[in-house]
Amino acid sequence: MYKTFIRPILFLFDAEKVHHFTFALIRILTKLGLGPLFRSIYKVNNSKLERELFGLTFPNPVGLAAGFDKDAKLYKELSNFGFGFIEIGTVTPKPQEGNPKKRLFRLKKDSGIINRMGFNNGGVIEAVERLKSNKNVLIGGNIGKNKVTPNEEAVNDYVICFEALFDYVDYFVVNVSSPNTPNLRALQDKEPLTQLLNTLQKQNNAKTARKPILLKIAPDLSNDQLMDIIDIVAETSIDGVIATNTTIDREGLESENKKETGGLSGKPLTTRSTEVIRFLSEKSGNAFPIIGVGGIHSAMDALEKLDAGASLVQLYTGFIYEGPALIKKINKAILNA
C-alpha cells in the first residue's frame, strides 16, 4: 500500500516539506488512537529478536538512524512502527537553522537521497525537555558541534551535549562524519579524534554508571584510515562504531540532481557501507560491536550487514522509500535466518 499509493503522492512534493507533513500526520493519527493499530501491524514480538549489547537490551536489532527525528519530537510515535531503538539528533549545544534551503533531494532513479541539512536542530536543551517524558523507548543520542564553533574548540560542544543528554539517553553517538558542516570530517583524523573521545570517556567514567559511546564514521575513509579507527577504538576504549554515515561519492548515479552537494544515502551506499563493516569486523578480530547503516532497502540488505559483522542495523532512506513494512520484513527475516 505504501509503495503503491502513498509514496507516489508524497514524492510529488518537496522532500523537506513532506518530512514535516509526515511528522504532523503521524502525530495526529497517534493522538486519534491509532498507535496500537500500528504496533499490531508492524511490530514483531519475539524474545528471539532481543539483543544484549553495551549492557543494554534491544527489543529487536532494527533501529531508526539519526537525522530522521533530529529533535526528539516523534520518537514515541515512531517506535510504534516496530523499531527496536530510536537514535535522535544530531543535536548541537545551541539551536541552529542549518544550511539554506533547498537542501534535501530525492534521487528517484537511484533510490537515494542527497541532503545538506547542516545539523539543523533546536539545540540540546529542547531535545532534553522532550526526552524527559520517555518511559520505554530505547534512545541513542547523536551529538555534534555547532557550525560556528571552530574545530579547535569542538570538544567543548560535544561535552556540553554529552552532559545535557546523559540522564535521558541510553547510548551516545559521536558524529564527526557528516559532510555538511564545514571541516567537521577533519575531526576524524587520528589526533583530534583521539583527543575528543578520550575527553568524553573521562567525563563518562566520572559518572556513577557510564553510558556506551559509539563513533559514527564516513564511508569515504581509506583502508589506512579505517585501520586508524580500529586503533582509536582500542586506545580510547569506546564501545563501538556506527558504519556508515552518508557519502560524498557520486559514481554510477543516474538521477538528474546527482550533482547536488551534500551527503548521499540510500541504495548507492549499500555495498560500500557493508564493505566498511566487514573490513572493521575482520581487521579488528570482532573487537567491538558495529551498528550497520547505509542503503538497507530490503531484508536481504540487512542480513548482509549482519553477516558482515554488524550486531544491529539502522534505517533511514530505506524507511522513506520502502515504508514501515520494511522493519517487519527485516525482523521476520532475522527470525527465519
| Catalytic machinery residues | 178
By the 8 A CB rule, do 316 and 65 touch? yes
- Maximum Cα interatomic distance, the chain, rounded to a whole number of Å: 53
CA distance 175 to 296: 20
* C-beta separation of 297 from 264 below 8 A: no
The CA distance from 186 to 153, in Å, is 13
CA 303 to chain CA mean position, Å: 18
Neighbours of 226 (CB within 10 A): 19
Q: In 30-145, which ranges are continuous DSSP H helix? A: 35-42, 75-79, 124-131
Task: Say how far apart CA 175 and CA 185 lie, in whole Å.
Answer: 9
Helical spans, DSSP H, in the chain: 7-10, 15-29, 35-42, 75-79, 124-131, 154-165, 190-205, 223-236, 270-284, 299-308, 317-322, 325-336
The Cα-based distances of 161 to 1, 94, 151 in angstroms read 40, 9, 16
- Cell numbers placing 279: 573490513
